[in-house]
Amino acid sequence: MNNLAVMYHYIREREGWKGIFPLSPRDFAHQIDTLSKTYDIISLDQMDKPRSRPWCILTFDDGTKDQYINAFDILKRKGVPAYFTVMSGPLVSGIIPVFHLVHTALSFVSDEEIWERIRSKHDTTGIEEASATYSYEQDRLRRYNKYMLNIKLTTEEATEILGAVFDTLFPDKAKFIDDFYLTEREIKHMHREGMTIGVHCHEHLPYCGDPRQFYDKEIKPCREYLKGALGSYSEWYTPAFGGGVHFEAMREQLTPILIANGFKGAFSTVPKEVPQEREFWIDRIDCANLGHSR
């Protein structure tokens, strides 16, 4: 049997947030119990050690507050390690990435209103076919909105549409960031308790095709932030969006730079198990495919 890395995002009840698909704390705890029957749930520095059973790594993207309040609490009670990645932009520069603006706007504003804002300013030709990437969304306009905001529009175009909506919903941006994301104190606490802290991104951008520019803009600022907070450089990396549509080029072009800067490995969003002899890029199974939706 091969090893397994599992990808998690929100661990919380939905509670009115219609724009996200979280895994409930109860289901998360159940998944840990189920996985423990077959796998040794280990920390990243234990991956290359021989063992009698296959191993499993629990990974968390985006560094949101619910991971500290809910997931970390459950992990501590069960004595299970995990790997959490941090997004430094909100903490350092007050930057809220577009995809979190999307989650927020689609949670509290109707899809009709958002779609009208998009349609009135931008070309939506071919949207029906293109939006199939969000086929899990049953509502047609929800699919359209997610495709346009997350994929078709530039960061500046999407932010222009979403910014006014967000400011109306959350006029105190600093308070939203403090309530929504891991704080430095919480990151330090998880690290002291044995959780591995890794680099996710600075502004949550997909791979741009230029490995040096991407490293300097998205990876290095986050790594430097963590060095200041934790006293040492993180050795693990998980790219936003798994790299995006250029993820194959990212693997080829970015890997030498990551290795040269001391990274031991990186995690993808390719839904595969991990072979006995792992490679630098480690594939992950979404928690939604373990029996519960995210």
pLDDT over threshold 70, residue 1: yes
| 102 and 90 housed in the same domain | no
Q: Which of 153, 174, 195 is the last residue of a domain?
A: 174
pLDDT over threshold 50, residue 195: yes
What digits encode the pLDDT tens for the residues 198-243? Answer: 999 999 998 999 999 999 999 999 999 999 999 999 999 999 999 8
Sorting pLDDT into bands at 50, 70 and 90, what band is 292?
A: very low
| 183 and 269 housed in the same domain | yes
Reduced DSSP (H G I as helix, E B as strand, rest coil) percent helix, strand, coil of the chain, to 5: 50, 15, 35
Which one, of 45, 37, 89, lies nearest residue 63 by Cα? 89
| 189 and 215 housed in the same domain | yes
- What is the C-alpha to C-alpha distance for residues 255 and 104, in angstroms, rounded to an integer? 33
- What is the C-alpha to C-alpha distance for residues 242 and 67, in angstroms, rounded to an integer? 19
- Domain residues for 126? 98-174
Burial (Cβ within 10 Å: 0-12, 13-18, ≥19) of residue 4 = buried
Count: domains in the chain: 2
CA angle 58, 223, 239 (to 5 degrees): 50
Amino acid at 206: P
Question: CATH number of the domain that 83 lies in?
Answer: 3.20.20.370
| 150 and 50 housed in the same domain | no
What digits encode the pLDDT tens for the residues 130-162? Answer: 999 898 899 999 999 999 998 899 999 999 999
* Both structure tokens of 228: 């200041």
Q: Which of 152, 174, 196 is the last residue of a domain?
A: 174
| 190 and 285 housed in the same domain | yes
Which residues contact residue 143 at a Cβ distance below 8 angstroms, ignoring those fewer than 6 apart? Answer: 131, 132, 134, 135, 137
Give the HSE-up count for residue 106: Cα atoms under 13 Å, Cβ half-sphere.
Answer: 26
| 76 and 191 housed in the same domain | yes
C-alpha distances out from residue 26 to 29, 181, 209, 249, Å: 5, 21, 40, 38
Amino acid at 289: N
Q: What is the pLDDT of residue 133?
A: 85
| 24 and 88 housed in the same domain | yes
Provide the phi-psi class of 169: left if phi over 0, else alpha when psi is between -120 and 50, else beta: alpha
| 75 and 164 housed in the same domain | no
- What is the C-alpha to C-alpha distance for residues 286 and 169, in angstroms, rounded to an integer? 30
Q: Which of 137, 154, 174 is the last residue of a domain?
A: 174
| 152 and 33 housed in the same domain | no
Q: What is the pLDDT of residue 293?
A: 34
* Both structure tokens of 216: 């300097």
| 34 and 82 housed in the same domain | yes
Q: What is the mean pLDDT of residues 32-44?
A: 98
Q: What is the mean pLDDT of residues 33-38?
A: 97
Amino acid at 65: K
Q: What is the pLDDT of residue 294?
A: 33
| 257 and 183 housed in the same domain | yes
Q: Chain-wide mean pLDDT for the chain?
A: 95
CA angle 246, 274, 287 (to 5 degrees): 75
| 277 and 209 housed in the same domain | yes
For residues 206 and 217, the answer to whether their CB atoms sit within 8 Å is no
What digits encode the pLDDT tens for the residues 248-285? Answer: 999 999 999 999 999 999 999 999 999 999 999 999 99
SS3 61: coil
C-alpha distances out from residue 46 to 26, 35, 50, 285, Å: 27, 17, 9, 19
Give the HSE-up count for residue 273: Cα atoms under 13 Å, Cβ half-sphere.
Answer: 12
Bigger pLDDT: 222 vs 292: 222
**β partners of residue 197:** 84
Sorting pLDDT into bands at 50, 70 and 90, what band is 291?
A: low
